[in-house]
Structure 1
Amino acid sequence: MKNISFENYLNPTEFLDSDHPAVREFVEENTAGLMTPEKKLAALYYAVRDGFRYDPYRLDFSREAMRASHLTGRNYGYCVEKSCLFATAARVIGVPARMGFANVRNHIGTARLEAVLQTNVLVFHGFAEVYVNGRWIKSTPVFNKELCEHLNVAPLDFNVEEDAIFQEYDRDGAKFMEYLHDYGRFEDIPYDFFMRELQRHYPHLSKDISLGKLIEL
């Protein structure tokens, strides 16, 4: 990739608040003693993946709650929050990072979630991309190891050589997840766009989403 400017992918933003003391403390605690960016990224990836339980049933859509620094104060999060923290942490160590979003179809069989959403399509699923060794690497530090074992799917590991974006099949070869629509890459969480898409796809939850209130599914 030639003539690319990384400034926007290194600076703190509203949601990727890499200048926040809580985020910097999180990075320091999980990269102490590590010397290379690759080793630091791997440590941060696993700290986010397994240190914060994946929980899609408590969704706080307020602007404050979606900042990376806010996640450091609890032990759970969903895809956008966890990917945001990883991307933010990458910026702290000087690695360009950005957010990606897509709609995915869930084949996990989570009846409770599907009943509330009234669909098995998850809108604006979040992942992160980091720029390592001359290329963008897709990373999804979302589904913690314990959850993956429970769902009979291999956890996504961090690899600087190839993308780790989603589990297409479980260990038995059954369909697990599939990507339906790619929204593109962003230097920050496109909050207003995100909220509009949620309200468009889940109109029955539109009022709670528009108020930016905690939704407990």
Structure 2
Amino acid sequence: MDYLKATYFFDYGHKAIQHIVASFTEKSVKEKAIGIYLRVRDEWRYDPYSISLAKNSYKASTIAAKDSGNCVEKSVLLIACLRALNIPARLHLGKVKNHLAVERLTEKFGSNELTPHGMVNVFLNGKWLKMSPAFNKTLCARFGVDPLDFDGENNSFLQQYNNEGSLFMEYVDDYGHFEDVPVEFMKRNIKEHYPHIFGTNDTTTEFKL
């Protein structure tokens, strides 16, 4: 599989993506990966309450034009940026359970489980590493959780505990990795887990909770 190619979703030839990566092109591969990870993590606010089933919503250039995104959207943006910098990257999906500040999640989703949860696999120094750009630094500060840093050598995708030692997040299912954005799989997954939001025959494509 080609984890460097541009696709409909990872449209890194778009001027919006090229603008994001422009300041990283002269750095080392490791510096590129770390720098672009931090930029996507912190410059796009995490918003789990905006759900879309529209194909266009998952184009990297569409996401780049916003100031926020859910975990899948931020992962798509990061992958496009990494590929633009000639670093192989792919989307990894799973299901996570949040244990802190879950009242609104439970109210809106009917559960404290979020699915599909997106993260990124990046190929550096001959191995695939996991990293999650979802939770921006200001959000982490609000919930008393250290932000996930990435050192270019180790996995960085799970904030299991907050700073007081309380359980924060856990992975409860792993859907594996994908060369491109599996929109049809994501639609089925969302409708299966949140039928009260998107019924199986619902034609709505976007929902702001």
- 1:31 alignment partner in structure 2: 24
- 1:14 alignment partner in structure 2: 8
Task: List gaps (5 residues or longer) in structure 1.
Answer: none
- 1:96 alignment partner in structure 2: 88
| Cα root mean square deviation, aligned | 1.6
- Distance in 2 (CA, whole Å) between partners of 1:43 and 1:180 is 29
Of 50, 69, 81, the residue aligned with 1:58 is: 50
Secondary structure of 1:103's aligned partner:
strand
The residue type equivalent to 2:38 in the other structure is: Y
Alignment of 1:38-187 (within 5 A): 38-187=30-179
Q: Is the 8 A contact 1:195 1:210 kept in 2?
A: no
Q: Is the 8 A contact 2:93 2:117 kept in 1?
A: yes
The residue type equivalent to 1:68 in the other structure is: A
* Identical amino acids, percent of aligned pairs: 37
Secondary structure of 2:40's aligned partner:
helix
Q: Deviations over 1:138-161 (max 9, x none)?
A: 010110000001000000001211
- Distance in 1 (CA, whole Å) between partners of 2:102 and 2:31 is 34
The residue type equivalent to 2:164 in the other structure is: D
- Distance in 1 (CA, whole Å) between partners of 2:185 and 2:132 is 21
The residue type equivalent to 1:16 in the other structure is: F
* C-alpha deviation, 1:101, in angstroms: 0.3
The residue type equivalent to 2:55 in the other structure is: R
Secondary structure of 2:130's aligned partner:
strand
Secondary structure of 1:46's aligned partner:
helix
Q: Is the 8 A contact 2:192 2:200 kept in 1?
A: no
Of 176, 180, 187, the residue aligned with 1:195 is: 187
Q: Number of residues paired by the alignment?
A: 209
Is 44-53 or 107-116 further displaced after alignment? 107-116
Q: Deviations over 1:78-105 (max 9, x none)?
A: 1000011111111011111000000011
Q: Deviations over 1:17-73 (max 9, x none)?
A: 222221112111x416x4211111111111100000111122233111111111111
Task: List gaps (5 residues or longer) in structure 2.
Answer: none
Counterpart check, 1:204 vs 2:196: yes
Secondary structure of 1:126's aligned partner:
strand
Q: Go from structure 1 to structure 2 and tell me whether the alpha carbon gap of 1:211 and 1:153 turns closer, same or farther (over 3 Å shift).
A: same
- 1:215 alignment partner in structure 2: 207
* C-alpha deviation, 1:209, in angstroms: 9.0
What TM-score, normalized by structure 2, do the two folds share?
0.95
Q: Is the 8 A contact 2:75 2:132 kept in 1?
A: yes
Please list every run of at least 4 consecutive aligned residues from structure 1 whose deviation after the TM superposition is greater than 6 angstroms: none
